[in-house]
Amino acid sequence: MNFSYEQTTKIVFGRGKIDSIGEIASQYGKNVLLVTESVNSPLALLYERVKGLLQQAGLTVHHYDGVVPNPTTESVDAGTQMARSEKVDAVIGIGGGSSMDTAKAVAMAAINEGRAWDYLFFKKQPEKTLPCIAVTTTSGTGSQVTQVAVMTETATQTKSAVFNNLIYPRVAIVDPDLMVTVPRHTTASTGFDAFCHCFESYINVNGSAYTDIIALEGIRMVAKYLRRVVKDGQDLEAREGMAWADTCGGLAIANAGVTLPHGVGMTISGHCPQIMHGESLALTYPSFMRLTYPAAVEKFATVGRILNPELSGLSDEEAAKRCCEEVDQLLKDIGMWLNFESFSVDEATIRRIADRSHDLPDYKANPVIADIDEIYRELMEALARS
């Protein structure tokens, strides 16, 4: 029972909570930078609504709308330059993980020397950051409650992250009303990411009794609501349940961390930016589960029984094995049973991905360590999976 847990983000959760953003942001200054994807995105009306709420609260709003999926160093640098030139007091990120990660990186880089890329987890660390408010419009990344900001250096096809407790958002606004228009496939992809955050925290060798509680709560929410919300995006009870699952996942990984699939998934996205993060996880999970379950039988069995209560009468060994099949079925039910060929990824690219799959240390936290050859084998199983 030896563990530590740190979480400094104030969570404002519930339907209609976006209306409080002016009051919340006013606590951190009068001059703010709004960080979003393009104003031509489906969220354009939300951006204008938020700007209006901030202006009604007496704030000056500057809008950086250069966020791109799988944020690049170039897009983060451009946002940083705007934050510096406008001398903003705080940064507000609205959107999915890409917008929130960009906002956290910009808030950090704006008042430190150099670029955000200079402060990756294995490099020098920042001394300060601007306050950041994260408003999530999807249910999966957990970025609204983590100390991580992910970005890709396109020239080297390297996807990595800033990881520092200073960059926890000061406030996270989680409003399920903002999620009802998320497209079905994005709902499925981000929802599976939420499951992966909870699952990988739960089996992580660095987990704790505290993170286990949070992770299992998130898994229960996914089991109950993910299929429902993919089937009907207007199901507000399901949207709320998945928003909570997402938040649980973020709270868990912030302290326990992730394992093998996330490190490999980051490498996949670095080489193949057309692949969403949740898609990269879906590509790897069937093989990863079968590699790992013998080394974490009790925990796999517990998750299997949450996904399918009919496994309760089976031994732990059999329930753990069946857990792999339950995750397969979940992927199929939400339209996430994928292969690399559908993304025009060939064997040579898979070889390059595998060769760099130990660049990030996440694989070390898996209950069983996969070497490069094993990872290549698993990725090749996903090449033409049917």
- CATH number of the domain to which 256 belongs: 1.20.1090.10
> Does residue 168 share a domain with residue 95?
yes
Question: What pLDDT, on the 0 to 100 scale, is given for residue 242?
Answer: 98
We report the CATH number of the domain holding residue 38 as 3.40.50.1970
> Does residue 192 share a domain with residue 145?
no
Assign 132 to helix, strand or coil: strand
Domain boundary among 132, 159, 179: 179
The whole-angstrom separation of Cα 263 and Cα 161 is 11
> Does residue 206 share a domain with residue 174?
no
Q: Is residue 373 domain-resident?
A: yes
Residue 318: give the domain boundaries.
184-381
> Does residue 148 share a domain with residue 295?
no
> Residues 383, 354: contact at Cβ < 8 Å?
no
Q: Is residue 41 domain-resident?
A: yes
> Residues 263, 206: contact at Cβ < 8 Å?
no
pTM (2 d.p.): 0.96
Domain boundary among 124, 152, 179: 179
| Long-range interactions of 222-229: CB distance < 8 A, separation 24+ | 222/191, 222/194, 222/195, 222/198, 223/306, 223/307, 226/188, 226/191, 226/192, 226/194, 226/195, 226/330, 226/334, 227/330, 227/333, 227/334, 229/139, 229/187, 229/191
For the stretch 267-302, pLDDT in tens is 999 999 999 999 999 999 999 999 999 999 999 999
> Does residue 338 share a domain with residue 204?
yes
Assign 35 to helix, strand or coil: strand
Q: Is residue 285 domain-resident?
A: yes
Q: Which residues of the chain have pLDDT under 50?
A: none
> Does residue 230 share a domain with residue 141?
no
The number of domains in the chain is 2
> Does residue 204 share a domain with residue 136?
no
Q: Is residue 2 domain-resident?
A: no
Q: 287-311 b/e with 16+ CB inside 10 Å = b? A: bbbebbbeebbebbbbbbbbbbeeb
> Does residue 243 share a domain with residue 337?
yes
Q: Report residue 127: phi and psi, to 5°.
A: -100, -15
> Residues 200, 259: contact at Cβ < 8 Å?
yes
Beta bridge partners of 271: none
Q: Report residue 128: phi and psi, to 5°.
A: -160, 170
Question: What pLDDT, on the 0 to 100 scale, is given for residue 1?
Answer: 78
The whole-angstrom separation of Cα 370 and Cα 378 is 10
Largest CA distance in the chain: 63
Q: Is residue 138 domain-resident?
A: yes
Q: Is residue 248 domain-resident?
A: yes
Question: What pLDDT, on the 0 to 100 scale, is given for residue 191?
Answer: 98
> Does residue 296 share a domain with residue 235?
yes
* Total residue length of the chain: 386
Which residue in 3, 10, 2 sits closest to 28, CA to CA? 10
Strands 60-64 and 31-35: parallel
> Does residue 98 share a domain with residue 140?
yes
> Does residue 170 share a domain with residue 104?
yes
> Does residue 214 share a domain with residue 173?
no
Domain boundary among 124, 147, 179: 179
Beta bridge partners of 163: 148
In what helix (H) or strand (E) does residue 286 lie, and over which residues does it extend? helix 277-292
Q: Is residue 4 domain-resident?
A: no
Q: Is residue 3 domain-resident?
A: no
